[in-house]
Chains A and B, each alone.
Chain A
Amino acid sequence: MKSKVIFVLTLACLLFLFFPFSWILFDLIVKGLPVILSSGINFFTGIPPIPGDGIGGIGTVIEGSLFIVSIATLISIPISLLTSIYIVMNEGKKLSRISRFLVETVLEFPTIIVGISVFMIFAVGLGLGLNGLTGAIALGIIMIPYSTVQTVENLRQAKEQYLEVGYSLGLTDSRVVRLLISEGREGVTTGILIGLAKIFGETAPLLFTTVTSFNIYLRSINSPVSGIPVLIFNYAFSPYDNWHDVAWGASLVLALIVLLLFILTRVTTRRR
């Protein structure tokens, strides 16, 4: 009897959690899918419409997002990998504990503050201006703690399992580190994917670090460039019906990208 009550309660909680998620997804599909279908492949390659004139596409911001996110990833991978190696190989030492604490704190840091700081330091202070690179620096900084936390976790497992093995085979310190990365590489990949999923949807930092422009394809690193979430933010609050539709379509695309990244994360962690 008691276990039945608990079962029903658990199920109720599950449904309660499941409801908003499925409602959002359902709403996105109902409102977004027709928009994408009506524009076809052009939705992924084209230029956003002028007010009141059709759907067009979000090719410019898809390109922008991919560009910014790629550079952000290139910036954050070496930093988070080196940080993780330091933290794991020096466990117990003060600096390692401090680094770990810092990384975990930055993880919860409001991303809008990262945006403002990067604007002040890089865009204004160092004169980088508002462009894809500055945006990528902001997103890279946001990504670092996400991938670091995950990488630390997995490197630590690899260390537990293989540190003594590596040394017992007469490997040098640097070879042992390489062995740990090689055996913990799913974790490193997972860390990067989780970081990617996080920064794909970030709007606030891009508002501070890029010029909001949706109508130009990328020509150089200094081209005005923007991302999918920024377009959603701007178009959803515009007074034009067709822009609202574009925002719904773009939201579905963004949701699917993030969903895909999480599915990939599942796949990479499922081994053994």
Chain B
Amino acid sequence: MSDSLPFVFEIVALNVWINNRHILKDIRDLRIPRNSVFAIMGPSGSGKSTLLKVLNRLLELREGVKIEGEVKFNGENIFNIDPIRLRRKVGMVFQQPNPFYNMSIYDNIAYAVKANGIAKRKEEIDEIVKQSLIRANLYEEVKDNLKRQASSLSGGEQQRLVIARALALKPEVLLMDEPTSQIDVVGARKIEELIIELKKEITIILVSHNPQQAARVSDYVSLLYDGKLIEWGPSQRVFTYPKSELTEKYVAGRMG
């Protein structure tokens, strides 16, 4: 495995069934370039979230899941990587902001840092918490009282706290499953700005059902439809000269 590969993820071939329903159908040759924002678009039920959860092997926690194929992370087949080790490198942010409501802002970030043994000394942990909040553009808003309960934050702030929580583990990739769909417009814009900033350091794979958002923030984009990969490529090319009629329809808002 090597960081010098141009792609963090490479889906060589992938089929997924959930309770004997074919959810992802023969997805092949999809490569996710390092330090980019890679958007996965598609109407609801097209398999976007399923694809995302294959990448950090979260999908396998569910009953009735069958996965076939090969997916490479830094050149190594993810199904040969210990899922715990994989997930520490591939963070995730969910649709619904889900901070730990029983914990303070500080503890939300420190929890996994301590549990995973990333840092032990208090000064070290303090620094990680601070840096993560800065990277998630939340530090200025909360620095006066990190002991505040996470539940006192607004939806958008909670989502940025969750991003900070994931960043604290220093992941190479951040999977984001429609991170702005439950957030108000202002909060959503801040998160979009954050996504663009973060790609300098990490790779972001963003599930979005909103083509405008994908056009605003992504470098590469793909379209899933009914579990099939319709097309993928540099966003500019896909949005201006879509190869498939389905993509053209979807981008124009005539589908989904």
Contact = CB atoms under 8 A, between A and B. Distances in A.
A179 interface: yes
Contact of A168 (B92, B103, B115, B151): B92
B87 interface: yes
Interface in B172-227: none
Interface residues of A, number: 18
B144 interface: no
Given A170-B116, A272-B151, A183 B87 contact: no
Q: Which of A92, A164, A171, A175 has most B Cβ within 10 Å?
A: A164
Given A162-B98, A162-B100, A170 B84 contact: yes
Contacts of A172: 84
A170 B103 CA distance: 19
Nearest to A184: B102
For the residues of A in contact with B, the DSSP-based class is helix
B105 to A, nearest CB: 15
Contacts of B101: 183, 272
A185 B102 CA distance: 9
Interface stretch (B56-64, B133-141, B229-237): B56-64
A109 interface: no
B94 A164 contact: yes
B91 A168 contact: yes
B205 to A, nearest CB: 13
Interface in B124-183: 151, 165-166, 169
A43 to B, nearest CB: 40
A183 B102 CA distance: 6
B112 interface: yes
Contact of A165 (B83, B94, B115, B169): B94
A272 B91 CA distance: 27
B102 A167 contact: no
Interface string A168-203: 111110010001001101000000000000000000
A222 interface: no
A39 B15 CA distance: 78
Interface range, B side = 20 to 34
Contact of B112 (A169, A183, A272): A169
A163 interface: yes
B88 interface: yes
A164 B58 contact: yes
Interface in B67-101: 83-85, 87-88, 91-92, 94, 98, 100-101
Given A168-B91, A170-B84, A170-B112, A179 B58 contact: no
A167 B98 contact: no
Contacts of A10: none
Interface in A98-152: none
Contact of B169 (A92, A169, A175): A169
A53 B94 CA distance: 71
Contacts of A167: 58, 61, 83, 87
Contacts of A179: 100, 111
Contacts of B166: 168-169
B151 to A, nearest CB: 7
B213 to A, nearest CB: 22
Contacts of A272: 101, 151
Interface of A: 92, 161-165, 167-172, 175, 179, 182-183, 185, 272
- Nearest first, the 10 A-B pairs at minimum CB distance are A170-B88, A168-B92, A169-B112, A170-B87, A175-B115, A183-B102, A170-B84, A165-B98, A170-B116, A164-B58
15 contacts: A162-B100, A164-B58, A164-B61, A164-B94, A167-B87, A168-B92, A169-B166, A170-B84, A170-B88, A175-B115, A179-B100, A179-B111, A183-B100, A183-B102, A185-B102
Interface of B: 53, 56, 58, 61, 63, 83-85, 87-88, 91-92, 94, 98, 100-103, 111-112, 115-116, 151, 165-166, 169
Given A162-B100, A168-B166, 12 more contacts: A162-B98, A167-B58, A167-B87, A168-B56, A169-B88, A169-B116, A170-B87, A170-B112, A172-B84, A179-B111, A183-B101, A272-B101
